[in-house]
Amino acid sequence: MIWSKEETLSKGDMRSLQNMRLGEIVKRVYYLVPFYKQKFDEAKITPDAIKSVDDLKKLPFTCKKDLRDNYPYGMFAVPMGEIVRIHSSSGTTGKPTVVGYTEADMNIWAEVMARAFTMGGVTSQDIMQNSHGYGLFTGGLGFHAAAEKMKVAVIPSSTGFTSRQLLLLKDFGATALTATPSFALHLAEVAKNEGYDIKKDFKLKVGFFGAEPTSIGMKQEIANVWGIDYHEIYGMSEIIGPGVACNCKYSKLLHFQEDHFYPEIIDPETLEVLPEGERGELVVTTLTKQALPLIRYRTGDITSITKIPCKCGRTTARIESIIGRSDDMLLIGGVNVFPSQIEHVLSTIEGITLHYQIIAKKKGYLDKLEIDIEVDESIMTDDVARLENIKSKVAKALLNNLYINVEVKLIAPKSIERSEGKSVRVIDERKSSEQNRLS
Ligand SMILES: [Zn+2]
């Protein structure tokens, strides 16, 4: 089943709709948001110069910093009387990013989420346990509103209280689960410890996950342990929240809701628009949003886009699951490498864990990459032949998949320091040596 007719428009009809909506949104930002008026004037562009999405490249980019500089409401295009909801993302440093929604924006949000749920086969007969955090984070309420719109019974269990969540999951009989991937795995681990028989005690058949970079191995593990179809939902609060893209049953690529959000892929270094199929940074222009319309917003997420039609019947463009952040991109001997690509490879090899550290160095003029990986508890650290075998497997797999030579070091379990927050995955020693030279 397909939720709305916009998902199956012909290429020509989609393009006309996008062009019409872009024309309106460009006028909107120019006349209503002083930040954009100034940007357009500096670039000597008037709204009538933008006749189609092909003209987008004439327009300046918008960055997260612009939202911070105009904190909290400087980028809003409507008076506060029309705003019905405010969310904000927790900035790891400095001020949070604030986003606002009108009633029409709330409807768009529920609409694109309903399209995503429909891709996972969810209907009004389903019961959905929503284990995303309710609050300023867009996950909880974003999923909630769409479930209600589809008349799906939604259980607002939010995060935490794992034992109680499991009790609800069993007794209330949820058939769909939404959570962050890490919480889904945590729930499964606690369920096993508490003696549940996961496939017998629970009725789950589908799950919607997102908000964290997730390796293929982790996705498979979640699907297997819960016995469910895994659907990935992409989004970010600046664009609308979750629901910008989601994969259907037939494709690992995510259908992009391009009638509401126009995607471009750029080279993060040169800022040039890249052709279909090439990997680069995703840039999004919101085509319909009223409260916080954004022109060419640099998401920082690295992906590629394809316009090849999907087996499911939807004609919308599709993106790859996000493979990394442009800020995390490592340039090793001219090859772009993302930590998440390395993790994908590591997750396919037995005998090692996903506790690792990537170290980029300079050896003379050449870039060198070293990876320290903790071996599995089951590996005897004095079994030299076995260790050598694993080492060469990892090096070969990385060479075959990423085209780079990596020096692999296997280290004892628990030797990489664990931190409460995000663990330090990448150490770029080249940067610190450059900084040392400059200072
Ligand atoms: Zn599809």
Residue 94: pLDDT band (50, 70, 90) is low
Task: Give residue 48 CA to ligand 1 midpoint distance, Å.
Answer: 35
Is the pLDDT at 435 greater than 50? The verdict is no
**pLDDT (tens digit per residue) in 228-259:** 999 999 999 999 999 999 999 999 999 999 99
Determine the distance separating the centroid of ligand 1 and the alpha carbon of 309, expressed in angstroms. 8
Q: How many CA atoms lie within 13 A of 286 on its CB side?
A: 26
Residues 193 and 175 in one domain: yes
The proportion of the chain whose per-residue pLDDT surpasses 70, expressed as a percent, equals 96
- Indicate whether 57 and 130 sit together in one domain: yes
Q: In this structure, what CATH number is given to the domain that contains residue 93?
A: 3.40.50.12780
Predicted local confidence at residue 23, as pLDDT:
98
Instruction: Examine the pLDDT at 421 and tell me if it is beyond 60.
Output: no
Burial class (CB in 10 A: 0-12, 13-18, 19+), 162: middle
Q: Is the pLDDT of residue 93 over 60?
A: no
Q: Which residues contact 250 (CB under 8 A, 6 or more apart)?
A: 310, 311, 312
Judge whether residue 221 has pLDDT over 80: yes
Asked if 278 and 339 sit in the same domain, the reply is: no
Statement to judge: residues 274 and 185 lie in one domain: yes
pLDDT value, residue 419: 58
pLDDT of the residue at 439: 33
Tell me what percent of the residues of the chain surpass a pLDDT of 90. 73
Number of domains in the chain: 2
- 129 or 365, greater pLDDT: 129
Q: State the distance from the centre of ligand 1 to the C-alpha of 7, rounded, in angstroms.
A: 10
Tokens of 198: 């996961």
Same domain, 197 and 213: yes
Q: What is the dihedral of CA 161, 167, 171, 174, to 10 degrees?
A: 50
Binning pLDDT at 50, 70 and 90, where does residue 59 land?
very high
Q: Are residues 377 and 249 in the same domain?
A: no
- Domain-ending residue, one of 299, 326, 353: 326
pLDDT recorded at residue 330: 84
Interval between CA 314 and ligand 1 midpoint (Å): 6
* pTM, entire model: 0.84
Residue 246 Cα to ligand 1 middle (Å) = 9
Domain boundaries, position 377: 330-438
Question: Residue 92's pLDDT is what?
Answer: 53
Q: Which of 149-158, 248-257, 327-336, 358-367 bottoms out in mean pLDDT, i.e. has the lowest? A: 327-336
Ligand 1 center to 321 CA (angstroms):
14
Q: Are residues 424 and 280 in the same domain?
A: no
CATH of the domain at 400: 3.30.300.30
Residue 233 and residue 96 share a domain: yes
Going from the Cα of 119 to the center of ligand 1, the distance in angstroms, rounded, reads 8
The pLDDT of residue 157 is above 70? yes
> pLDDT band for position 91 (50/70/90)?
low
Same domain, 334 and 322: no
316 CA distance to ligand 1 middle (Å): 8
For residue 218, what pLDDT is reported?
85
Q: What is the whole-number distance in angstroms between the Cα of residue 311 and the centre of ligand 1?
A: 6
Indicate if the pLDDT at residue 187 is higher than 60: yes
Task: Compute, in angstroms, the gap from residue 313 CA to the centroid of ligand 1.
Answer: 6
DSSP 142-202: HHHHHHHHTT-EEE---SS-HHHHHHHHHHTT-SEEEE-HHHHHHHHHHHHHTT--HHHH-
Residues making up the chain, counted from first to last: 439
Distance 248 CA to ligand 1 centre (A): 5
Highest mean pLDDT among 32-36, 135-139, 344-348: 32-36
339-380 pLDDT, tens digit per residue, is: 888 888 898 899 998 888 999 998 888 889 999 999 988 887
